[in-house]
Amino acid sequence: MPSRLASSVLLAVVTLATASHSAKIANDYDQPSSAWYQPDDHPVHALFKRGHVAVDATMSYPEVGSAQWRAGYPAAEAPTETLPKAWVDRLNAAVTAGKIPNIPQSILTQGVAPTYPEGYDPNNSTVCSSTYKCITPGDIWDAPTGKLALSFDDGPLPASTALLQFLAKNKQKATHFFIGTNILNNPQVFKTAFNDNKDDIAVHTWTHPYMTSKSNEQVLGELGWTMEIIHNSTGGRIPKYWRPPYGDSDMRVRAIAKEVFGLTTVIWNQDTNDWSLSEPVPLTTSTEIHANMTQWLTGPKTPGLVILEHELSNASVQSFIDAYPMMTSNKWNVVSLAALDGGASYQNAYDSSAPVAAANVGDLNVKAPAAPASSSTTQASKPSGTTAGKPKAAQRNGGSYNEPVTFVSVGVTLFSVLLGIYSL
């Protein structure tokens, strides 16, 4: 089966990609002074302040990129022993309440998709692995008719800069599924995306693992620390969406994301394979991506498009830039993915410039304040250089789109609905 073969090759290269990811990460953080004592503002003093603290709207956070900002986060995969108690308590309560399906972790073997122990069918509704294209209502695979939900994975990275410049020049908003450790290592690029472009920031885990292969507590750390660094670097905004690395999620992982952190899982309905362009053995070429894009962008408008793209390399960014004119000329309504339903981009804020309802990561009772009056009337009153084009802003703010996303994807052969176990 060619598709099976392709996915084996993909997984093999993915493993290479993971290794070379870290090599590509530039570190623009300067180490603090080498004095033997630790002054009061030294990061070590913040190390143990990981508890649940009262937050309010006037809360200020350390400058993104500063030693104090960086101090509280794990440098690599998070130890499960030092997870904030509030998150662990929430997880345990959800497990006790039967909200986290008790299915085993997947097993990783070089070169093939994650597998499950004997007796667990990844395609059935109990496991429902998105790697096997099992779709569950509540996850996002498709966009509403006519919309192209724009998003980029794996940043912030040096290659993001050209993307952000292009987006700003075109007054185009996008969602960035950022990797937590890349935020830690590239704070200036992060600031450009959030402070300057005012783009939407979403979660792509702390260290980019196959999430189904991780324990409940490891899943907690991968999601939680990424939410925490985004929260503390965006004036307290709580992300609303996450995308599993390699699209690998299942009922257990998506339940932890939803029940503990209020996160909605986002996959895609078209894949460029652009991440592989900078690999030793690319799975595609810029020419093939352009041909794929041409087909998708001139094709049917139902369902809308969720195209998997990466801000990983010059070539992957360039393939988006080359396709962008077709997105607009074919009259797609190009919106930031986090705004695809016309609602708020964060759990507690309408977007990256609107007011924030103060809340901690894991606070599921919080609601986003309504769209600011200025943005619901004219887009001209929004900060310049940050909003999408007029028709998009009007549609996004018009409140006309309220129905749930379409879950039946044209290219997906298996549709599995889970009844009773997982509620939206």
- Catalytic residue ranges: 153, 310
Q: Which is nearer to ligand NAG, 357 or 371 (CB)?
A: 357
- C-alpha closest to that of 396 among 366, 331, 351, 347: 351
**For residues 333 and 398, what is the distance between their CA atoms, to the nearest angstrom?**
14
3-state secondary structure of 77: coil
Q: Give the pair of three-digit tokens for residue 349.
A: 């804020």
Q: Which is nearer to ligand NAG, 19 or 169 (CB)?
A: 169
Q: Which residue has the tokens 């996959």?
A: 267
DSSP conformation letters of 83-128:
S-HHHHHHHHHHHHTT-S---PPPB--TTS--B--TT--TTSTTT-
Cross-strand pairs, 271: 308
Closest-approach residue to ligand NAG (CB): 72
Residue 69 Cβ, how far from ligand NAG at the closest point, in Å? 7
Residue 264 Cβ, how far from ligand NAG at the closest point, in Å? 23
- C-alpha closest to that of 270 among 148, 135, 163, 403: 148
Q: Which is nearer to ligand NAG, 314 or 378 (CB)?
A: 314
Buried b (16+ CB within 10 A) or exposed e, 314-344: ebbbbbbeebbeebeeeebbbbbbbbbbbeb
Contact 212, 106 (CB under 8 A): yes
Preceding omega of 62 cis (within 30 degrees of 0): no
Q: Which is nearer to ligand NAG, 69 or 350 (CB)?
A: 69
Q: Which is nearer to ligand NAG, 300 or 404 (CB)?
A: 300
Residue 50 Cβ, how far from ligand NAG at the closest point, in Å? 6
Q: CB within 8 A of 265, min separation 6: which ones?
A: 130, 138, 139, 140, 241, 242, 243, 244, 249, 254, 257, 258
Contact 137, 299 (CB under 8 A): no
Residue 21 Cβ, how far from ligand NAG at the closest point, in Å? 19
Residue 317 Cβ, how far from ligand NAG at the closest point, in Å? 4
Cross-strand pairs, 346: 239
Residue 397 Cβ, how far from ligand NAG at the closest point, in Å? 30
Residue 394 Cβ, how far from ligand NAG at the closest point, in Å? 30
Q: Which is nearer to ligand NAG, 77 or 121 (CB)?
A: 121
Q: What is the binding site for ligand NAG (CB under 6 A)?
A: 46, 49-50, 53, 55, 59, 61, 72-73, 119-126, 132-133, 162, 228, 232, 273, 283-284, 288, 291-292, 295, 314, 317-318, 321, 413-414
Q: Which residue has the tokens 């030793």?
A: 280
Q: Which is nearer to ligand NAG, 25 or 71 (CB)?
A: 71
Residues recorded for the chain:
424
